[in-house]
């Protein structure tokens, strides 16, 4: 025994502390599931209210006319800012006030949220904002 704690116990504590520091010190690289979105696509068209090109996910907030003509705000999740840069999306590609069309996977619970697939900008170009490298749809 040394200082009230035997050497073997101190070794176990040291191993546990090293393991804990490795676990807590690692950057979080795990990715959450997209299981809260449907597998099918839907198309939306509206006016961009906000764009947040950030990591780990970017967001477009799109105002869409509802069935009764009232504006509805949709939160549309895209891939990371880094992923968007890789496919050539710039900060000026989509801005507040722009009219765009999107093809996205809606939330299963029916609330106004979507996992973005494609964005058609005002100049007519279409890009895969999900970063899955799917073929660009001709009918968006």
Q: Which residues of 17-33 are buried (b: 16+ CB within 10 A; e: fewer)?
A: eeeeeeeeeeeeeeeee
State residue 33's pLDDT score.
Answer: 54
In a domain, 91, yes or no: yes
- Check which CATH number belongs to the domain holding 120 and give it: 2.40.50.140
In a domain, 90, yes or no: yes
In a domain, 116, yes or no: yes
In a domain, 113, yes or no: yes
Distance, CA of 13 to CA of 123 (rounded, Å): 62
In a domain, 93, yes or no: yes
Q: What is the pTM of this model?
A: 0.74
If the chain, 140 residues long, is cut into consecutive pieces of 10 residues, what is the mean pLDDT of each piece?
Answer: 54 44 37 73 97 96 96 96 92 96 96 96 92 89
In a domain, 96, yes or no: yes
In a domain, 138, yes or no: no
State residue 4's pLDDT score.
Answer: 58
Range of the domain at 116: 42-128
In a domain, 55, yes or no: yes
State residue 73's pLDDT score.
Answer: 98
Smallest CA-to-CA distance from 103 within 122, 81, 129, 82 is with 129
Domain count, the chain: 1
């Amino acid at each position: 025994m040394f200082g009230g704690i035997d050497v073997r116990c101190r070794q176990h504590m040291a191993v546990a502390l090293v393991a804990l520091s490795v676990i807590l010190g690692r950057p979080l690289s795990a990715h959450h599931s997209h299981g809260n979105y449907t597998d099918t696509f839907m198309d939306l068209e509206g006016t961009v209210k906000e764009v947040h090109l950030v990591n780990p996910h970017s967001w477009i907030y799109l105002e869409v006319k509802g069935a009764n003509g009232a504006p509805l705000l949709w939160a549309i999740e895209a891939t990371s800012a880094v992923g968007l840069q890789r496919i050539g999306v710039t900060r000026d590609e989509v801005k507040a006030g722009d009219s765009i069309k999107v093809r996205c996977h809606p939330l299963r619970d029916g609330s106004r949220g979507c996992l973005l697939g494609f964005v058609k900008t005002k100049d007519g170009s279409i890009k895969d904002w999900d970063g899955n490298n799917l073929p660009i749809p001709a009918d968006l």
